Amino acid sequence: MNNISISDVFYFFEDIKPHEPETQKELGLYILEFWKMRLYHLFPDKKFDFILSENGILDESDICITSCQSI
């Protein structure tokens, strides 16, 4: 399982706008699409599951992207 917290991407920003949940969610959707394309390019014979969650699925907080190989 791979996980990226979108809020971590904005951690060092001084501008408050990128910290807004809607901005993070929008960026998360773009990152998710690129992540899908890259994994399918690298591993064309495998299937993956992708989740964009608002509070993570483990112990993360804020918007997170999680991917794992389908079983």
* Mean pLDDT, 10 residues at a time, the chain of 71 residues: 71 61 83 90 93 70 81 80
Report CA torsion sign: 51, 24, 8, 57.
Answer: negative
Domain span holding position 17: 2-69
Place of tokens 């794992």: 68
Measured distance CA(57)–CA(54) in Å, rounded: 9
pTM over 0.75: no
Distance separating alpha carbons of residues 17 and 52, to the nearest angstrom: 20
Domains in the chain: how many in total?
Answer: 1
The pLDDT value given to residue 44: 95
